[in-house]
Structure 1
Amino acid sequence: MSTIILDVSRLLTRLYDGLLPTGVDRVGLAYIERYGPQARALLSERGFSVVLTERDSRQTFAWLASSIRNRNAIRRLVVRACLNRAFEASFKQGILLHTSHNGMEYPRYYRAIAKRNIKSVFMVHDLIPLTHAEYCRPGVDKTHRNRIHTALKHADGLITNSQATLDSLTTEARNADLPLPSNVVARLASGVTARPPGARPIEAPYFVILGTIEPRKNHWFILHVWRRLVEQLGTAAPKLVVIGRRGWECENVVDMLERCASLRGVVIEEADCSDERLHAWLQHAQALLFPSFVEGYGMPLAEALALNVPVLASDLEVFHEIADDIPDYLDPLDGPGWIARIHAFADADSPERAEQLKRIERFREPTWAEHFEHVDAFLDALH
C-alpha cells in the first residue's frame, strides 16, 4: 500500500501568518481530514522539499485541522525538518498529493519526489491566469503557465475540480504540444461545515457576495448596482454584505467601499469572517450574488445551495456543471438585469425567489465522500 504524502507548505505558512483559510486552503484541509491519520506531511520551498517524520506530521496535521497557531513551535518544527533532511529515507511506495498551485513550477521538486519513490499528483484549480490574464496581477500569467507546463511534463497524475477546468487544461496541453498526464475530475464539496441554524445577523433584508476582492469577481460592478438601488429605493434598499479579504488590483472597489457616501450603512464589509459568522450570513440571505467573469469552480455556489439559499450568478459553463439550471443566471455586465432580479429577490413574497427555492430541492450537493471515491480510484490506478 502506498504511503500518502501531503504537501502542507501553503497551509502551514498561512497558519503561521494568522490568515483565515481560502477555498484552496479548505481543499487542503479536507485532504488532511481524509488522509492525515496514515499520511506524512511534506514542506517545500522553491522546489526544495522535506518529508516530516511521522511524529512531526501528526503534530502538523493537528495544528492545521484545529487552526492552533503556535509560531515558536512551527519555527522549531521547520528547523528540525531542515536538520533531518540529510537523513531522509526513500519510500517503498509513495504518492504525493499537492492541492495548491504553490511550487508546481520547479522541475527539481518533481525530480526529488521521484528519487524517493514517490509518484506526484497535483490538483489544478483553474487556468484563469492563462485564459484571462487581464483579471490577474501582472506576471502571474507567466508564472502560472510555467506551473502548468511543468506539471504537464513531469507530474504522474492531475486532479481537476471540474470538467471545465479539465477542458481548459486539455486545450493548453494541445496548444503547447505537451502530453496530458493521467487525470481525473473530482468535484469539490462545500467548504463550510454544516452547523445548526444561527441567529439572523441583521433584521434588514440583505444579499451576500463571497470571495476575495479581485477584478474577476466583479465587486466593482455590484457596488455600482447597489448605488443605483439606493438611488431608487433610498433607505428601503436591501443591504449588501461583502465577505472576503481585499486582494490585488482592487483600488476602484476600495474607493467605493471607503468613499462612496451613498453606500455608507448599506454595504457591510466582512474582511475576516469566521466560519460560524459566514454560515449565519449565508443562511439568512435573500440570495448569494456570484457575478464573476470567470471561475475554475465556484465553491460559494455549492455552499449557498447546500444551505437552501438562492443564487444569482453569472452565466458560466462551470456553474451549470455544478448546479444545472437551479440558479438565476445573468450576464456579468447586465446592470439593469441584476437590478431587476435583486429588486425581485428582496421582496419577502417574491415569486421568483420562491421558484428558485423550489428548484433547489433537486440540488445534488457535491460531497467529499464522492470526491475521494474518484481520487482513491485514480490513485489505485496509478500503481
Structure 2
Amino acid sequence: MQQPSYIYFDISRLIARAGHFVPTGIDRVEFEYADYLLRHAAQRLAFVAITPLGTIVTLPFAEAERFIRQMEKVWQGDHSLCRDVRWAARRMVHKAMLARQATPDAARMYRKSVYLLMSHHHLTRPGSIRRFMSRHGAEFVVMVHDLIPIEYPEYARPREPARHEARMNTVLELARGVIVPSQAVADSLLRYAASRRPDLPVRVVLHGVVKATPASEAFGVPDHPYFVCLGTIEPRKNHLLLLNLWRDMVEKAGTGVVPHLVLVGRRGWENENVLDMVERCPALQGTVRECNSLSDPEVMALLRGSRGLLFPSFTEGYGLPLAEALKFDVACVCSDIPVFHEVAGDAATFVDPLDGVGWRRAIEALMEGDVASHRPGARVASAALFTWSAQVAEGLAFLEEL
C-alpha cells in the first residue's frame, strides 16, 4: 500500500477572516478541509500561513487547532469570541515568525510532502510559494474556485482581472495538480491553460453540505411569508432584479399579501444601487430586510422556514447556498446557468437571470398553497449533495494519485 503524503495545510484565509461572524463559501471550504485533517490525519499534518513579510511559515500546531475550533464556535453563534479569535490569530503568526523554521521531524518519515492551499489567498506571490516548496521539498496542490474576474471582468473590482490572471499564472507555473468545485470551473481553467499547460491535472470535487444544528431558542423566523436570497451583495449576484420585482409587487399589491425578502450576506463591492434601494426605497421599507451577521444555525433555520431560496446570479463557480437549501428540502428558484444544473439536477426551478417576468411567475407560484407542497421532495435525489467528509476525502485522494 502506498504511503500517504505529509500535508502542509495553509490556513491564511481563515486567519485573514478571523473574527468575522459569517463565513463565505471559500472560508467554509478551508475550514472543512482543516477540520477533516485534524480528525483523520493529524499525525501527518502541519498548519502553515503567510506572514505580513511574505514568508510562509509553519504555525504552532496546538494554537492553530485551538484557533480553528474557536472560529467554528464564532460561526455557530458565539460572537463573544470574536476579539479573542483575532488576537489568537495575530499571536500565532507572530510566534511562528520568531520561531526557527525547520522541516518538521514527522515530515521526514514520509516519502512525499504536499503544500495544500484551498483558497486564492496569496497566489499573487509565487516567490513565497516557490521558496516554501523548495525549503520543505513539497509539491503544490491548490483549489481554484472560479475564473470569474477573468471571464466576467465587469463583475469585479477594476484591478481584480489582472490580479486573477496573476493567480492563475502561478497555478499554471507551480501547481502539481488542481482541485475545482465544478465541471464548469474545470472547463474554464482548462481553456485558460490550453496554450501553456494542456496536461495540467485537474480534478472536480464538488463541495459538501454542512450538517444542520439548531438555532438558539431566542432566534425566531418571521411569521409573515418570506423568501431568502443568500450571498455577498455584489453585482454578479443580481440582487437588483429581486429588489425591482419586490418594489413592483408592493406598488401593485393593493390589499394583497406581499411576501418579505430577506437578504443574507455581507456587503461586497460596487453595490451602491442595491444599498440605495434597500435603505431609501419607500416601497421596500418593512418588506425587504438585510441580515449580515447571522450564525450558521440561524441561516439554516431561516432557510427552512422560508417559502424558498432565490438565487439569481449571473455566474458562479459553484453555489453553496443552492446545495444547502436543497439539502434541507427547501424550494429553490435559481438562474438557468450550467453550474446550477450541475448542482441541483432537476430539483430546482431554473429561470434566466434577465427574465424578470419569469422570476415573478416563479415567486408567485411558490406563494400558492402551503410550503410543503413546493418542497423538492424526491427530486432532491437528482442533486449533487454530499457530506463534507466524503468530499474532503475525495480531494485528499487526488493528492495521492498525483
TM-score by length of 1: 0.92
Q: After TM superposition, give the deviation of residue 200 of structure 1 in Å.
A: 5.5
Q: Aligned in 2, Cα 1:377/1:76: closer, same or farther, shift over 3 Å?
A: closer
Q: Give the Cα–Cα distance (whole angstroms) in 2 for the partners of residues 344 and 97 of structure 1.
A: 45
Structure 2 vs 1, CA of residues 52 and 256 (structure 1 numbering), >3 Å: closer, same or farther? same
- The answer to which of 118-127 and 367-376 deviates more is 367-376
Who is 1:132 aligned against?
152
The answer to whether the 8 A contact 1:282-1:304 is kept is yes
Q: Sort the Cα spacing of 1:316 and 1:40 in 2 relative to 1 into closer, same or farther, 3 A.
A: same
Structure 1 residue 337 displacement after superposition: 1.0
Mapping of residues 293-304 of structure 1, within 5 Å: 293-304=314-325
**Identical-residue share of aligned pairs (%):** 39
2:164 corresponding residue in structure 1: 144
Could you say which residue in structure 1 is the equivalent of 2:78?
none
Q: Structure 2 counterpart of 1:10, which letter?
A: R
Matched position secondary structure for 2:385 = coil
Normalization by structure 2: what TM-score? 0.88
Asked if 1:250 corresponds to 2:271, the answer is yes
Indicate the residue corresponding to 1:266 in structure 2.
287
Q: Answer whether contact 1:152 1:179 (CA < 8 A) is retained.
A: no
The partner residue of 1:20 within 3, 19, 22 is 22
2:11 partner amino acid: V
Q: Do structure 1's residue 330 and structure 2's residue 336 form an aligned pair?
A: no
Q: Measure, in 1, the Cα distance between the counterparts of 2:223 and 2:63.
A: 47
Displacement of 1:259 after TM fit? Answer: 0.5
Distance in structure 1 (CA, Å) of the matches to 2:220 and 2:377: 19
Is the 8 Å Cα contact of residues 113 and 120 (structure 1) preserved in structure 2? no
1:230-379 alignment to 2 at 5 Å?
A: 230-234=250-254, 236-349=257-370, 354=374, 356-360=376-380, 362-363=382-383, 365-379=385-399
Q: In structure 2, the residue corresponding to 1:184 is in which secondary structure?
A: strand
Q: Give the whole-Å Cα distance in 2 for the aligned partners of 1:319 and 1:282.
A: 18
Q: Offset at 1:57? A: 3.5
State the shift of 1:196 in Å.
4.8
The SS at the match of 1:76 is: helix
In the alignment, structure 1 residue 5 sits paired with structure 2 residue 5: no
Deviations 1:102-133 (A, max 9, x none): 10122213312321111111111111001101
Partner residue in 1 for 2:236: 216
- How many aligned residue pairs are there? 378
The range that moved more, 275-284 or 356-365, is 356-365
Which ranges of structure 1 fall in alignment gaps of 5 or more residues? none
Q: CA deviation at 1:178?
A: 3.2
The aligned amino acid for 2:126 is: P
2:61 corresponds to 1:40: no
Quote the Cα distance in structure 2 between the aligned partners of 1:366 and 1:260: 40
Q: C-alpha distance in 1, partners of 2:223/2:291? A: 17
